[in-house]
């Protein structure tokens, strides 16, 4: 995927021995896949990733299924007086 962060793989032993090195890679924007006996078991990712990269990571890990199509907007279910959406009020009150 275009824009996807670079990924490095490390065994548990290597990760423990060179943790500072791998954390520097993560700070630089890379993700580190952790493997146990060659089988991926986890991933360390930067705390702030572009939304496309976060969606791709969730898709790869099996947390979501996505056909890569954009969602179509739907009309709000609830309305209040003066024809404003409840979502608009929530957004206003967050500030």
Residue scoring higher pLDDT (63 or 14) = 14
Instruction: Kindly state whether residue 36 falls inside one of the protein's structural domains.
Output: yes
Domain that holds residue 36: 7-94
Instruction: Kindly state whether residue 80 falls inside one of the protein's structural domains.
Output: yes
Average pLDDT over residues 51-55: 80
Average pLDDT over residues 52-64: 82
Q: Can you tell me the distance from the alpha carbon of 65 to that of 58, in angstroms, rounded to the nearest whole number?
A: 8
pLDDT at res. 38: 92
Identify the burial level of 63 via C-beta atoms within 10 angstroms of its C-beta, where 0-12 means exposed, 13-18 middle and 19 or more buried. exposed
Instruction: Kindly state whether residue 2 falls inside one of the protein's structural domains.
Output: no
Average pLDDT over residues 69-80: 76
Beta-carbon count within 10 A of 10 CB: 19
Q: Could you read off the pLDDT of 21-45 as tens digits, one per residue?
A: 999 999 888 889 999 999 999 999 8
pLDDT at res. 2: 46
Helix, strand and coil content of the chain, in percent to the nearest 5, comes to 40, 20, 40
Domain tally for the chain?
1
For residue 20, the domain's CATH number is: 3.40.1620.10
Instruction: Kindly state whether residue 1 falls inside one of the protein's structural domains.
Output: no
């Amino acid at each position: 995927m275009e824009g996807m962060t670079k990924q490095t793989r490390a065994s548990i032993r290597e990760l423990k021995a060179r943790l500072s090195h791998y954390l520097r890679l993560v700070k630089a924007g890379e993700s580190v896949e952790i493997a146990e006996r060659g089988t991926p078991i986890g991933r360390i990712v930067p705390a702030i990733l572009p939304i496309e990269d976060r969606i791709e990571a969730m898709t790869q890990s099996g947390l979501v299924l996505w056909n890569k199509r954009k969602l179509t907007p739907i009309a709000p279910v609830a309305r209040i007086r003066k024809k404003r959406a409840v979502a608009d009020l929530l957004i206003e009150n967050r500030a």
